[in-house]
Amino acid sequence: MKFLTLALASAALASAVSVPAKITYDGFKVYRVSVGSNVAAVKSIMSKLQLESWTGRPKANGFVDLMVPPTQVENFEADTADLSIQLMHEDLGLSIADEGQVSVYAAGSANATWFNAYHPIADHTQFLKDLQASYPSNSEIISAGKSNSGRDLTGIHIWGSGGKGSKKAIVWHGNVHAREWITSMVVEYAAYTLLTQNASDTSMKAYVDKYDFYIFPIVNPDGFAYTQTNDRMWRKNRQANSGNSCVGRDINRNWPYVWSGSGSSTDPCAEDYRGASQGDSTETKALKAQLDGLASGKGVEMYLDFHSYSQLFMYPYGYSCTAVVANSAKYASLGTGVVNAIKAVHGVSFTEGPICDTIYQVAGDGVDYATDIAKAAFSFTVELRDTGRYGFVLPAAQILPSAEEMWAGLAYLLANM
């Protein structure tokens, strides 16, 4: 969910359709700057040095995580001499290498070793197919539609007693933002757990019997593929923008609900670009149609959008910090239960609350659309590990722990909604 406020020259090159060169982050540093009351000063430094923020726009008494190219490190350190800064990544290129080698998957072996490494996009699809093939009586491979480049938005549909499509829907989306690799792994772990433990765990069987699960680990496949071939820090989809060389829309700023409000950008080069018109992202169109179809059928019990990083569990609204969601007390109670369940697994602390208050204002997001238009009974978004030490390049060793703790939170929701 994090977005970049300004464009580096190298990232701008990556955004140009005609320049598909691989971006290297060797020598880049990432600093955390404590903003305090110095909002204007921090904004000025970011503008002057053309720095990208991993944590949105600076706000009073908050912080920003800034990616600094080697050519600007000396200037940055001089300009922030009177501010409190912390070095997060000494060399981002090395951090990306330490994230863990992308591992090739042995087709047919949909087992827990999958969660020991990150994987190429084609292997994600194969893993789902192999998982489904092991449980053909209560699962199927589905597609929400096509990406801008024609890739399937591949998911897995899981059901229990009563047959497929007979119960209210649970909808989970991962990798909305391309560089947030941990999200697809966590979503796949949830699908894996539901299927592999269904026969042996009575609570799991109860979940599967009560709901139909529609689980989409990678809903931005073009962007995700681009992070593996060209630019590890890419966020948006890969849709061209008419009259502009910058590529991509932020899928989570493009949903056709309060689309033109604060919390998104009108600049095609911005990482939170909302699109030329509401719902004009190829992927958003497909995801909206799929969600609308479920809403008009048995209805949607839960919509959950997975992001990283910050360790937050949030609920509506994003578009406003004053609007209060219906059943807000129940949302708050569920949020508290989820963060407690997560912490009980590995001791990792999450914070719960409304999106706008807890992280920042967001316009045109899927959670608000699911709440007010698709009429989901509950709608959430989560920011997974960590709080900034690794940020978007979470080491592979943290995949399984992150998935385990998040599953505990999901199980709490399924048992207590």
Q: Which of 271, 383, 404, 405 is catalytic?
A: 383
Beta pairing, strands 169-173 & 212-216: parallel
For the question of residue 383 being annotated catalytic, the response is yes
- Inter-residue contact 67 to 8 (CB < 8 Å): yes
- Inter-residue contact 258 to 370 (CB < 8 Å): no
From residue 209, alpha-carbon distances to 212, 232, 404 in Å are: 8, 39, 22
- Inter-residue contact 374 to 296 (CB < 8 Å): no
CA atoms of 279 and 142, how far apart (whole Å): 22
φ, ψ dihedrals at 299, nearest 5°: 95, 165
266 dihedral zone (left: phi>0; alpha: psi -120 to 50; beta) = alpha
Helix or strand (DSSP H, E) at 317: none
Write the DSSP symbol of residue 395.
Answer: -
- Inter-residue contact 294 to 167 (CB < 8 Å): no
At CA 199, angle to CA 202 and CA 164, rounded to 5? 95
Helix or strand or coil: residue 225? Answer: helix
Token pair belonging to 38: 């110095």
DSSP letters spanning 53-95? ESS-S--TT-EEEEEE-GGGHHHHHHHTTTSEEEEEES-HHHH
Q: Is the dihedral of CA 278, 280, 281, 285 positive or negative?
A: positive
φ, ψ dihedrals at 156, nearest 5°: -130, 135
CA atoms of 248 and 239, how far apart (whole Å): 5
Catalytic residues: 383
